[in-house]
Amino acid sequence: MTKEQVTGAAEEEQQAQSKKALKKQQKEAEKAAKKAEKQAKLAAEQQTADEDDFAKDRYGVSAMVQSQEKVDRTLVRVQELTPHRGGQLVWVRARIHTSRAKGKQCFLVLRQQQFNVQALVAVGDRASKQMVKFAANITKESIVDVEAVVQTVEQKIESCSQQDVELHIERIFVISQAEPRLPLQLEDAVRPETEGEEEGRATVNQDTKLDNRVIDLRTTTSQAIFRLQSGVCQLFRDTLINKGFVEIQTPKIISAASEGGANVFTVSYFKTSAYLAQSPQLYKQMCICADFDKVFCVGPVFRAEDSNTHRHLTEFVGLDIEMAFNYHYHEVIDSITDTMVQIFKGLRDHFQTEIQTVGKQYPSEPFKFLEPTLRLEYREAVAMLRAAGVEMGDEEDLSTPNEKLLGRLVKEKYDTDFYVLDKYPLAVRPFYTMPDPNNPKYSNSYDMFMRGEEILSGAQRVHDAQLLTERALHHGIDLEKIKAYIDSFRYGAPPHAGGGIGLERVTMLYLGLHNVRQTSMFPRDPKRLTP
């Protein structure tokens, strides 16, 4: 390049630089102008904030409740906010479910467990502009104490559980503030799948819900599910106590695998190792041999099954029953089915609110059952399946799809979601199952089904030490490992039978849900160990 060209280039560079510098200056000027504007705005707001706030002592963030004083105040439950309290001034403690500010008003939805109610802060003689602004800025999920007048409304508020009233807030204080960014939105967590798809709104997937279980459990659906589950447990206990059963507690750290070596968790036990109980089977039976006659136990069951299905957990709550009978194991089946029917009736009669709440997010057909409970023999079931085009052997176990199809066929024919299948083939049952006296290919064992899925496996147990030894040998089991078990039958043992159900599975199937993790508070499966 020539000198002129070089200088020319240099000049251009200079010009370009000065252009750049100009642009930079302009940008900075704009920034400064914006900043000044913002500051002026803030100052103006600050002014209005300091302006006459006549409601200053009717709102704010309360000091942390460290039990400073005993306040003599009754807090009314949201569930009780009905028209009969119209006009009353009440105190309520609830969470902020949603808040929406509109000019001089702020609409809040306050939530308490399964119930929510609309609340309103409006600029007036009780509330100032600053108070409305404060209410609008309270973060979702914060716990607040409000004093409000219960106002009846003419048009039902469809989106709340308390549809006939609204709270007109006079005082509002924050008791515990929630951080602004929630890991999941409760409205999304409660939205039905179909609504999410149709209207393109967000729903929360199961893994996210389980990772943030504390927040997910606050939803109205979760509250309802676990209240109902508590009801199942309570009805189970009450019904059996009334039948003269005794509740027992069995050890969960045991020396030998009770159901089979494959699916058992091993724990280190001082200098040796032990196992986590796969079922209370052995101990239930030993209690019968110890003359407790009728026993039940509620406790954890541990199955190290690497099954990632909708109905398997590695830890679940087992509700187990064992009963000595007089002459025929059907006495026990009748007792168990009657217990189940009492549970179903109790849920139907006393937990309708919960059933309806769950049904809003997970609609399903109401659970149907017959009295007395339907009992089919295995052979009949095989015939029904064959009539529907399924090919299977007489002594073949039912696969899961066949179980489900059978459930549908039984529902169609008998109109029941709950039934018993009796006299299973001996070959597919555990070694301690009593064989059928009339046909060596079958056994005195039974399964019970809800909505086509198995919930209970039970049988008459072998109570004779010699026969038990034979059956164990036949199944290739090491007699040394079960010596204590066999010994318990050597000193007089009554004929007995029983069975066990899974609490989570029963709740899931009663409500017509599709994944057992929804009915387990902090579920455990091969891929999940926390929370």
Partner 1 sequence: MALKELSSLEKCLGLKKPNKYSTQGERKVPVLQNNNGPALVGLVTIASHLVHEAKRTELLGNSAEQRAVVQQWLEYRITRLDNCSKEEVKVILKELNQYLEDKVYLAGNSFTLADTLMYYGIHHIIMNLAVQEKEKFLNVTRWFDHIQHYPGVRHHLAPVVVLRNRVYPSGQH
Q: Which residues are catalytic?
A: 303, 305, 311-312, 454, 457, 505
Q: By CB under 8 A, tell whether 362 contacts partner 1.
A: no
CB of 269 to partner 1, least distance (A): 48
Q: By CB under 8 A, tell whether 365 contacts partner 1.
A: yes
Q: By CB under 8 A, tell whether 71 contacts partner 1.
A: no
Q: By CB under 8 A, tell whether 243 contacts partner 1.
A: no
Q: Which stretch binds partner 1 (CB under 8 A): 95-103, 110-118, 294-302, 404-412?
A: 404-412
Q: By CB under 8 A, tell whether 290 contacts partner 1.
A: no
- Binders of partner 1: how many residues, by CB under 8 A? 10
CB of 412 to partner 1, least distance (A): 5
CB of 520 to partner 1, least distance (A): 25
Determine the Cα–Cα distance for residues 426 and 442; give it in Å rounded to an integer: 5
Q: Which stretch binds partner 1 (CB under 8 A): 137-145, 209-217, 386-394, 510-518?
A: 386-394
Residues contacting residue 291 through CB under 8 Å, at least 6 positions apart: none
Query: Toward partner 1, which CB reaches closer, 216 or 417?
Result: 417
3-state secondary structure 348-359: HHHCHHHHHHHH
Determine the Cα–Cα distance for residues 388 and 498; give it in Å rounded to an integer: 32
Peptide bond before 531: cis, by omega within 30 degrees of 0? yes
Binding mask 313-352 for partner 1 (x = CB under 8 A): ----------------------------------------
Q: If DSSP codes are grouped into helix, strand and coil, which group holds residue 195?
A: helix
* Interactions with partner 1, residue window 133-172 (CB under 8 A): none
Q: Which stretch binds partner 1 (CB under 8 A): 248-256, 346-354, 408-416, 478-486?
A: 408-416
CB of 366 to partner 1, least distance (A): 13
Kindly state the helix (H) or strand (E) to which residue 270 belongs, with its residue range: none
Q: By CB under 8 A, tell whether 408 contacts partner 1.
A: yes
> What's the length of the chain?
531
CB of 340 to partner 1, least distance (A): 23
Q: By CB under 8 A, tell whether 411 contacts partner 1.
A: yes
Q: What is the DSSP string of 200-218?
A: T-----HHHHHHTHHHHTT
Kindly state the helix (H) or strand (E) to which residue 219 belongs, with its residue range: none
Query: Toward partner 1, which CB reaches closer, 376 or 405?
Result: 405
Pairing of strands 165-176, 59-61: parallel
How would you classify residue 44: left for phi > 0, otherwise alpha for psi between -120 and 50, otherwise beta?
A: alpha
Residues contacting residue 11 through CB under 8 Å, at least 6 positions apart: none
Query: Toward partner 1, which CB reaches closer, 365 or 371?
Result: 365
Peptide bond before 192: cis, by omega within 30 degrees of 0? no
Burial 479-518 (b: 16+ CB within 10 A, else e): eeebeebbebbeeebebbbbbbbbbbbbbbbbbbbeebbb
CB of 408 to partner 1, least distance (A): 4
Q: Which chain residues interact with partner 1 by CB under 8 A?
A: 365, 387-389, 401, 405, 408-409, 411-412
